[in-house]
């Protein structure tokens, strides 16, 4: 964008504006003062004030019209800017600045046919032969765009094919810098079609499409991005130009994402695998294969394939890709920026795998994933808690106690850890349960209003109740065994002294079970209280049965 060479006060536009405002108060309608005020305001980004000053000039000349066009261009009102530049050029047909600005305004407005109409009279006004040649090439390019190209468009491909590398580079720079994809895409597509063997033109066109597709993907416009990228793939297959591997990886990654979000998971997996093959073959090393946070490109591809495999309900394949993802993160841990970024990603992936394995009740696999996750974040309390629960569930009490010690190290003053310790005990008798209940009650008295402690107490009480039920089942089985033997033997063959001793002993054990269940009632929730009442009634019945048989 160019303008008339006006420089009223040097680079200090704020000071210039102050002085010009003083001058304007002395001669409010002086056109030169109003013009300079408008220029100063425009330079300071005060577009509305600049336009107000220009509107006060009753008989605008070419310079005023040029300033109005520059304001409209800054405001991205390109059709209006084109009208104002056209009016300025009409007043000064010898002005290259007005003509070139008119060309740019029409270009940004997407008025291709009008662009070529401007370029013909503009070329002779060019200040240098090189500039004239550049405008001629531009016009040749525009001749082939539009529904009704003129007859001279037939010669345009020869002219464009004969351009030098520097001339092509300048054209590409102009098109790539437009900032409007729809316009740049048409121009670049035309250039690529007439210079199909040019790797530079193909690369810029390819890159422009990728950038636009990325913007569509970021706006969740999956269908639009897919429609834009699919022809790119077809054009690539018919071209002899070699494309940078990373551009190809970006293409296949975005195609994979679009298909995945449109729920075409099989096709998405195919695109991601193409990206994986290129990455493994051509991007095995080097700084470009690692992003600003230190994540290797192959890791993102493995993650994408893992997600697609999950959506296809292929959990075993998904798990393999997740584990490769974690392995890549671990190998590149030294490049993590910040230092904990890659460990956090690996940790979250392993927790995800652990959750999925737990839902399927694959306890050993759950434990394996959680132990790996713990290596990445050894002080994560929630992971330690889950490990503790798993070891307890698998009756690996020594491992559970080791995890419990780490939990104490992480939260040394947390009363919940005392409750975890109760769960880690190997309860072998009613006396062990009774001792645990006493400690549970003490913890409840020390922390009456701690919701977390109360939740943990309920979990601990539930496990103690399961132990009581297990003891009750064992004792009931012994009673039933004795009764069964008594029924199968004649009375004279029954060893009554032994029966009485066994039954008295079992009666005492049921009595101890009943006492423990009664003690637990004081700290139990409603659901557990019902189960405890049921257990107490069961113990009463068995005590009566043992008492009867023990006489």
In CATH, what number is assigned to the domain containing residue 52?
A: 1.25.40.10
The answer as to whether 93 is a domain residue is: yes
| pLDDT for 19 | 63
Look at residue 452 in the predicted model and tell me its pLDDT.
66
Predicted confidence (pLDDT) at residue 5 exceeds the cutoff of 60: no
**pLDDT tens across 534-546, in order?**
999 999 999 999 9
Q: Is residue 222 part of a domain?
A: no
CA 38/CA 46 separation, integer angstroms:
9
Q: What is the mean pLDDT of residues 334-358?
A: 94
Residue 283 has a pLDDT of 54
Give the pLDDT of residue 406.
Answer: 92
CB 80 within 8 A of CB 72: yes
389: buried, middle or exposed (CB in 10 Å: 19+, 13-18, 0-12)? middle
Is 87 inside any structural domain? yes
Q: Show the domain range for 21.
A: 1-109
Q: Which residues of 281-301 are buried (b: 16+ CB within 10 A; e: fewer)?
A: eebeeeeebbeeebbbbbbbb
Local confidence band at 7 (pLDDT 50, 70, 90 cut-offs)? very low
Q: Is residue 161 part of a domain?
A: no
The verdict on residue 226 lying in a domain is no
- The angle at the Cα of 58, spanning 53 to 60, to the nearest 5 degrees, equals 80
If one counts the domains in the chain, the total is: 1
Residue 93, pLDDT score = 93
Higher pLDDT, 285 or 114: 114
Q: Are 390 and 367 in contact (CB under 8 A)?
A: yes
Q: How far, in Å, are 3, 82, 124, 132 from residue 95 at the CA level? A: 10, 15, 11, 14
For residue 12, being part of any structural domain is answered with: yes
Which pTM value belongs to this model? 0.69
Residue 219 CB burial class (10 angstroms; 0-12, 13-18, ≥19):
exposed
In a domain, 13, yes or no: yes
Residue 296's beta-bridge partner residues? 290
Residue 55 lies in a domain: yes
List pLDDT tens digits, range 226-282. Answer: 999 998 888 888 887 888 888 999 999 999 999 999 999 999 999 999 999 999 887
Mean pLDDT (the chain) is 86
pLDDT band at residue 218 under the 50/70/90 scheme = very high
C-beta separation of 548 from 502 below 8 A:
no
């Amino acid at each position: 964008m160019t303008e008339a060479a006006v420089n009223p006060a040097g680079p200090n536009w704020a000071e210039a504006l102050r002085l010009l405002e003083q001058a304007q108060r002395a001669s409010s309608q002086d056109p030169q003062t109003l013009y300079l005020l408008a220029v100063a305001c425009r330079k300071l980004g005060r577009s509305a004030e600049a336009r107000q000053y220009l509107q006060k000039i009753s008989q605008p000349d070419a310079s005023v019209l040029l300033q109005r066009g520059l304001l409209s261009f800054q405001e991205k009102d390109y059709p209006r800017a084109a009208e104002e530049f056209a009016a300025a050029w009409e007043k000064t047909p010898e002005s290259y600045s007005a003509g070139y600005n008119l060309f740019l305004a029409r270009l940004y407005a997407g008025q291709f046919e009008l662009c070529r109409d401007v370029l013909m009279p503009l070329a002779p006004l060019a200040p240098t032969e090189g500039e004239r040649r550049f405008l001629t090439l531009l016009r040749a390019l525009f001749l082939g765009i539009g529904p009704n190209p003129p007859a001279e468009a037939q010669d345009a491909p020869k002219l464009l094919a004969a351009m030098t590398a520097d001339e092509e580079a300048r054209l590409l720079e102009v098109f790539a810098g437009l900032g409007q994809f729809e316009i740049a895409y048409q121009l670049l597509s035309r250039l690529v079609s007439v210079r199909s063997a040019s790797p530079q033109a193909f690369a810029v066109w390819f890159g422009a499409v990728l950038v636009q597709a990325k913007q569509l993907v970021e706006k969740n416009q999956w269908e639009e991005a897919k429609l834009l990228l699919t022809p790119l793939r077809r054009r690539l297959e018919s071209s002899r130009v070699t494309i940078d591997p990373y551009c190809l990886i970006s293409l296949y990654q975005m195609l994979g994402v679009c298909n995945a979000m449109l729920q075409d998971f099989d096709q998405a997996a195919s695109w991601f695998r193409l990206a994986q093959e290129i990455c493994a073959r051509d991007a095995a090393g080097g700084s470009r294969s690692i992003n600003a946070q230190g994540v290797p490109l192959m890791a993102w591809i493995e993650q994408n394939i893992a997600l697609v495999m999950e959506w296809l309900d292929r959990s075993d394949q998904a798990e393999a890709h997740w584990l490769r993802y974690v392995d890549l993160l671990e190998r590149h841990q030294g490049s993590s920026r910040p230092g904990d970024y890659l460990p956090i990603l690996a940790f979250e992936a392993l927790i995800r795998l652990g959750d999925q394995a737990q839902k399927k009740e694959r306890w050993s696999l759950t434990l394996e994933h959680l132990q790996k996750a713990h290596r990445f974040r050894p002080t994560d309390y929630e992971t330690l808690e889950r490990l503790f629960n798993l070891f307890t569930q698998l009756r690996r009490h020594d491992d559970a106690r080791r995890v419990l010690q780490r939990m104490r190290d992480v939260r040394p003053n947390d009363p919940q850890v005392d409750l975890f310790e109760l769960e880690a005990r190997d309860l072998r008798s009613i006396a062990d349960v009774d001792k645990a209940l006493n400690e549970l009650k003490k913890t409840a008295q020390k922390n009456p209003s701690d919701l977390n402690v109360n939740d943990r107490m309920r979990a601990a009480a539930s496990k103690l109740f399961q132990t009581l039920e297990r003891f009750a089942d064992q004792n009931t089985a012994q009673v039933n065994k004795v009764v069964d033997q008594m029924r199968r033997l004649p009375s004279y063959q029954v060893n009554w002294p032994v029966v009485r001793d066994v039954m008295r002993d079992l009666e005492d054990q049921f009595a101890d079970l009943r006492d423990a269940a009664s003690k637990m009632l004081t700290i139990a929730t409603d659901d557990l209280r019902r189960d405890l009442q049921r257990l107490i009634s069961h113990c009463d019945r068995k005590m009566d049965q043992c008492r009867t048989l023990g006489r």
